[in-house]
Chain A
Amino acid sequence: DIVMTQTPLSSPVTLGQPASISCRSSQSLVHSDGNTYLSWLQQRPGQPPRLLIYKISNRFSGVPDRFSGSGAGTDFTLKISRVEAEDVGVYYCMQATQFPQTFGQGTKVEIK
């Protein structure tokens, strides 16, 4: 199985300041079809996960443009340009390039 490793596991952030989460995979996530199936999910407290970003850098419907994704191969980053109170929660990266789909451990974003 592909192992997804996120850093940091906790990220205290000041409101209005940026936040960045890294995700590294144990092997390349480039699929044979040329796509890289790396996505980011947000889980607010007491809520189910919600898709934010798919295929590295594409924002899902309704996701604010302060969220952005980047990366390639085995190294990926989720950035929040200016953290708002509603961004508090746990963020997961997930790969679906190779079966079985696997998730990172999660990064908790909280307000300082």
Chain B
Amino acid sequence: EVQLVESGGGLVQPGGSLRLSCAASGFTFSSYEMNWVRQAPGKGLEWVSYISSSGSTIYYADSVKGRFTISRDNAKNSLYLQMNSLRAEDTAVYYCAREGGHIVGACFDYWGQGTLVTVSS
């Protein structure tokens, strides 16, 4: 069974930093592209960042570019999001989401339960 479990969220002051983690199991993590998607309270979904299976290709949404860094450790089956210079508008539930594989194609086929990040003084 595919499982994605996020951790690392919490309350942080504006300008602060947090590092989110996503532990993957039930599939060959190193074969799949991964993403972070966030959802502000009561709002819709916003894609945040993408990383290829090897980690060699990375993309960011303009809203987080230069402040967030995505990475992965395939030996540990883990995905990360380092968030610096946090702003109030970064307050959201952050989900890790697996990119669909060969058959399903480009979509997000599995999602974690999410971790809440609150940026407030």
Contact = CB atoms under 8 A, between A and B. Distances in A.
A25 B8 CA distance: 35
A99 B104 contact: no
Interface residues of A, number: 25
Contacts of B113: 48
B112 A48 contact: yes
Contact of B106 (A60, A92, A97): A97
B109 A51 contact: yes
Interface of B: 35, 37, 44-47, 59, 61, 95, 97, 100, 104-114
Contacts of B106: 31, 35, 37, 96-97, 101
A50 interface: yes
A23 to B, nearest CB: 13
Interface stretch (A10-18, A75-83, A102-110): A102-110
Contacts of A54: 100, 104-105, 107, 109
